Chain A
Amino acid sequence: MTGPRTRAHGLLAWGFAVAVLLYLFVPVAVTVLFSFTTSPRLSLPVTGLTLDWYEKAFSNPLFTDALANSLILAFLSAVVAGVLGASFAFGVARLRRRTRNILLTAGVLPAIVPALVLGISLALFFQEAGLSQGLRNAAIGQALVGLPFVILTMYARLETFDFSTLEAARDLGASPWRAFRDITFPLVRPSLLGAALLAMALSLDDFVVTWFNVGSRQTLPVLIWGLLRRGIDPSINALASTVLLSLVTLVVLAKLLNRKKL
Chain B
Amino acid sequence: MSRFAVEVIGVAKRFGKVAALDGIHLTIRPNEFVSLLGPSGCGKSTLLRIVAGFEFPTTGRVLIHGKDTTRVPPERRPTNIVFQRGALFPHMNVFDNIAYSLKLRKWPKPRIAAKVEEMLSLVHLENLGHRGATELSGGQIQRAALARALAAEPSVLLLDEPLSALDLKLRQQMQIELRAIQRKLRATFLFVTHDQTEALVMSDRIAIMNEGRIIQEGTPQEVYTRPVSAFASGFIGETNLLQGIVVSTEDLVVTLAVGEEGHFRAKTSLPLAPGTRVTLSVRPEAIRVGVRESSGNGQGMLGHIGEVVYLGSRIRIGAVTRNGAVVWADLRDDEAEGLKAGTPVVLSWAPSAASVWAESSD
Q: Which of A77-85, A144-152, A172-180 makes up part of the contact surface?
A: A172-180
Instruction: List the A side residues contacting B89 at CB < 8 Å.
Output: 165, 168-169, 182-183
- Taken together as a complex, chains A and B put the C-alpha atoms of A165 and B52 apart, in Å, by 14
**B89-105 interface with A by 8 A CB criterion:** 89-91, 100-101, 104-105
8 Å CB contact of B80 from A172, A175, A178: A172
- Taken together as a complex, chains A and B put the C-alpha atoms of A164 and B83 apart, in Å, by 8
Closest to A167 in B: B54
Asked if residues B134 and A178 are in contact (CB atoms below 8 Å), the reply is: no
The contact size tier of chain B is 20 to 34
Instruction: List the B side residues contacting A128 at CB < 8 Å.
Output: none
Measured CB to CB, the closest approach of chain A to B35, in angstroms, equals 20
Asked if residues A171 and B52 are in contact (CB atoms below 8 Å), the reply is: yes
**B101-139 interface with A by 8 A CB criterion:** 101, 104-105, 134
Measured CB to CB, the closest approach of chain B to A200, in angstroms, equals 25
- Taken together as a complex, chains A and B put the C-alpha atoms of A173 and B102 apart, in Å, by 9
Interface size on A, residues (CB 8 A): 18
8 Å CB contact of A175 from B75, B88, B134, B148: B75
Asked if residues A168 and B83 are in contact (CB atoms below 8 Å), the reply is: yes
Asked if residues A167 and B85 are in contact (CB atoms below 8 Å), the reply is: no
Instruction: List the A side residues contacting B308 at CB < 8 Å.
Output: none
Asked if residues B88 and A167 are in contact (CB atoms below 8 Å), the reply is: no
8 Å CB contact of A165 from B73, B90, B101: B90
Closest to B158 in A: A171
Instruction: List the B side residues contacting A167 at CB < 8 Å.
Output: 54, 74, 81, 83, 87
Asked if residues B80 and A171 are in contact (CB atoms below 8 Å), the reply is: yes
Asked if residues A172 and B90 are in contact (CB atoms below 8 Å), the reply is: no
Instruction: List the B side residues contacting A162 at CB < 8 Å.
Output: 85, 87, 90
Tell me if A33 counts as interface (CB < 8 A to partner B): no
**Do A187 and B91 contact each other (CB < 8 Å), given the known contacts A171-B81, A172-B100?**
yes
> Taking each of A167, A173, A178, which has the highest tally of chain B beta carbons within 10 Å of its own beta carbon?
A173
Give 21 A-B contacts (CB < 8 Å), ordered by A residue: A165-B88, A165-B89, A167-B74, A167-B83, A168-B81, A168-B88, A169-B89, A169-B100, A170-B74, A170-B75, A171-B54, A171-B75, A171-B149, A172-B148, A172-B149, A173-B75, A173-B104, A182-B100, A187-B90, A262-B91, A262-B134
